[in-house]
Structure 1
């Protein structure tokens, strides 16, 4: 390499082609999980440095109260070192654990040092409420959970709370570390070739004009599913809240509905008014989904090969059976949606042609037919939840609503912008629907109700309103933010497929901000600051190695204009 080529290489390495704000956004995003883990590491050490190893007096008091769903008022605790029946009156010591389950509920008093393991409680269906006092501070915890799980209150949490500085201390450490790490990463990302690995501009479709905001919604859908699974891993199903923001977490499976409405909307936006080459369309869909899906299948069959018969393994390679009876799907049980998507792709070219020929009436009639059969199944079986949730009959409403809305947009709006007030209205409508649904315990609460036959359609209308309002809202977004969100949306399929691969690595790490680790607030913060960024970083790898090389093989499947006449005007 001569001097000129070396100089050109170095110039290319240092020239700043990316906007500063975009560098900052990616540096901040990558810094989040690093700062979160460093905070976990630093908190006990800083607490020990500030307050020393002087034991603190702790009181653990079973309150004899239970939540509305708990079957009892028990408080289970892993027996702390040094506690014996003699100094734990009112507590029944059972091997490595101890329990307070009947009156009088005598408080357990012990001295806890900063070097100890802390207090590990057991959440379960028989658990009640407990009060933990440290110094002048006290906190009450509801230990009820449908799924049995343990969680630990660390000594440094109790020591810092006893001095009434816990949350300010945690926030100071986290944001201080986040600032330092972000600045350091920005220096590294000044080299464009390094940043290009992270950014990788979104790939435009060969069949339609690229709309970045739809990719934003893909990222929202994937994130909702991740929040949902981290929540149910800790708290189980059947929770109730009228808070729409909490509802997005507790009922985050609605992200699947958003994915499906988006599929119908996007594919119809591409195919409207054009001739669709059926086999080219199917080839493109297989290229888009199968490479990463097959990797997941191979991992399952290699790791858990004894759990599958030959026919079951074959069903995984050709996913037209939504669920396999008595078969474990470790890490990838959520991929039942791939079967539903593929079933829809097989009939989409016909549906879009009939929609154009027959108009809105065809879509409404098809929706009516699917709802009728779901109500029929409800009357026969008493529940239609599984049908509505994991089958094409249940989900065809959502694809069809997406198709219908795209058809109407193409005919009457196309590239027109609308007032941001419509976006606010769509968010308000979504908040009302989510509040009512989540307030009635979601799928669990309406499992036996006839309304479950209608729910996929209602959910689809909510998402369709939001999709149109957001995609066409007349407001400007900073280009760096727009492209960064679009990049995250580009990774959404990898995020969806791979999130349970990463969750086991992040599940046990908590920088507690609530009353105790694994609390609702902790799950949200841990998911946002640690789990989702880690999943995104891993998804960059799977997208770049598995998905992206195959995307170049896609071809144009929609072209030319239809020559047929509409049979029924819209």
Structure 2
């Protein structure tokens, strides 16, 4: 997606596509296996069975992108104007999020209370209307993402003042909060998965990765092919370990989840750094397709569960060949293509008109030293 505050980098859109696709595969597998189709098992299919890891990529990527913007503004002698930054963020996520929230409250109208409107600001907590059905269940991340937006300009400013060690201090604090929370929460897995205490460190790691990218840009470009292979291996190992030790949904309480988000985000940060630095381009058609997938990834992410549930409940298993694996791949291709088409429609109808209202949020002169060390 093109930003008004930094030069467009298609590699970031391609990573958004990857994140949305992983979450789609995760939910497709749940619906397909739940309908009686083939169920994947084993550590090396964990990128699908634990495909919720795409959410971790989204949070890490957000921290990386926004810190890149802050560094770019700093280099130009400008600071982020908080009001304009939040205005752009509201225009980016609220229109479609509000549509999904209204769908959720319509579905649950018989149980809805006026006070539930407060869940607009806390879709990841309690009995939020968006959590009432799988159709709108993906919206739980939006409140967390917006919370990160609220504090980011301050975090960026303090990082510019004090250097990357400031972010390291936050990560130490988050590790303490995670450990303390584990001692008193009987459903710690869900807590770490969907709350500030479990996810804030991923945004911080993304910010730290942007600082490292600025400092080691030349070295990263030189080592990018090797780093890309290593980062892919790390991501695969991360998800395989999660599948073996503490698969999501298998247990409400596992000490693994205390440090899980750090491990997950470290793998994604390494992939972000190596992919952004990787010089060779993909074939033109593929490059454009994946970048387009990143552009519509927000609609894709928020709407895919509704479409998958329609397929599961109204179409069911389709077996045109009689070969389970082939039939599963056919259904996957059809569902993915239909979701992409729906996301494209949603992007142009709901998202794009508001995105055109954004404006640059950098202005003035910075009053902080360029430490970033």
Normalization by structure 2: what TM-score?
A: 0.89
Is residue 54 of structure 2 the alignment partner of residue 221 of structure 1?
no
Aligned partner of 1:263 in structure 2 is 62
Bigger Rg over Cα: 1
1:200 corresponds in structure 2 to: none
2:125/2:195 contact within 8 Å kept: no
Write the deviation string for residues 301-326 of structure 1: whole angstroms up to 9, x where unpaired.
234311211111x124x323523328
Equivalences for 1:366-381 in 2 at 5 Å? Answer: 366-381=170-185
Query: Residues 497-512 of structure 1: matches in 2 within 5 Å?
Result: 497-507=302-312, 508-511=316-319
Query: Are the counterparts in 2 of residues 420 and 475 from structure 1 also a CA contact under 8 Å?
Result: no
Q: CA deviation at 1:436?
A: 1.4
Matches within 5 A, 1:53-72: none
Cα shift at 1:514: 7.2
| Cα distance in structure 1, aligned partners of 2:118 and 2:218 | 41
1:510-525 counterparts in 2 under 5 A?
510-511=318-319, 516=324, 522-525=327-330
Equivalent-residue separation in structure 2 for 1:450 and 1:277 (angstroms): 41
Does 2:231 align with 1:231? Answer: no
Aligned to 1:253: 52
Match of 2:369, SS state, is coil
Aligned counterparts of 1:513 and 1:251: Cα–Cα separation in 2: 28
Q: Residues 373-419 of structure 1, C-alpha deviation per residue, up to 9 Å, x if partnerless?
A: 11111122355212211111210010000000001112331797333
The Cα of 1:526 is off from its aligned counterpart by 2.0
Residue 211 of structure 2 contacts residue 372 of structure 2 at CA under 8 Å; is this kept in 1?
A: no
Does the aligned pair in 2 maintain the 1:227–1:524 contact within 8 Å? Answer: no
Structure 2 residue aligned with 1:122: none
Q: Is the 8 A contact 1:513 1:522 kept in 2?
A: yes
SS in 1 for 2:183: helix
Contact 2:140 2:194 in 1 (8 A): yes
- From 94, 102, 126, the counterpart of 1:290: 94
Greater strand content? 1
- Between the aligned partners of 2:349 and 2:219, the Cα distance in structure 1 is 35
Q: 8 Å contact 1:241–1:439 — kept in the other structure?
A: no
Are the structure 2 counterparts of residues 546 and 444 from structure 1 closer, same or farther at C-alpha, using a change threshold of 3 Å?
Answer: closer
User: How far 1:513 moved relative to its partner?
Assistant: 6.0
Q: 1:278 aligns with which of 62, 77, 82?
A: 82
Residue 241 of structure 1 and its aligned partner are, at CA, apart by 4.2
1:42-63 alpha-carbon deviations (Å, 9 max, x no partner): xxxxxxxxxxxxxxxxxxxxxx
5 Å-filtered alignment, 1:18-417, equals 203-235=1-33, 241-244=41-44, 246-272=45-71, 273=74, 274-312=78-116, 314-316=117-119, 318-325=120-127, 327=129, 329-330=132-133, 331-413=135-217, 417=221
Could you state the TM-score of these two structures normalised by the residue count of structure 1? 0.59
Kept in 1: contact 2:281–2:287 (CA 8 A): no
Deviation at 1:481, TM superposition (A): 1.9
Matches within 5 A, 1:4-15: none
Residues 1:400 and 1:500: Cα distance change in structure 2 (over 3 Å): same
Residues 382-531 of structure 1 correspond to what in structure 2 (within 5 A)?
A: 382-413=186-217, 417-418=221-222, 419-444=224-249, 447-507=252-312, 508-511=316-319, 516=324, 522-527=327-332, 529-531=333-335
1:511 deviates by: 3.6
Q: Which runs of 5+ in 2 are unaligned?
A: none
Are the equivalent residues in 2 in contact too, given 1:394–1:456 (CA < 8 A)?
yes
Q: For 1:381, what is the secondary structure of its paired residue?
A: coil
> Cα deviation per residue 1:493-530 (whole Å; 9 max; x = unaligned)?
000111122113433252466754xx7x7545522x11
CA gap of 1:303–1:429, structure 2 versus 1, over 3 A, is closer
Q: Secondary structure at the match of 2:79?
A: strand
Determine the C-alpha separation between the residues in 1 that align with 2:27 and 2:210.
30
Partner of 1:48: none
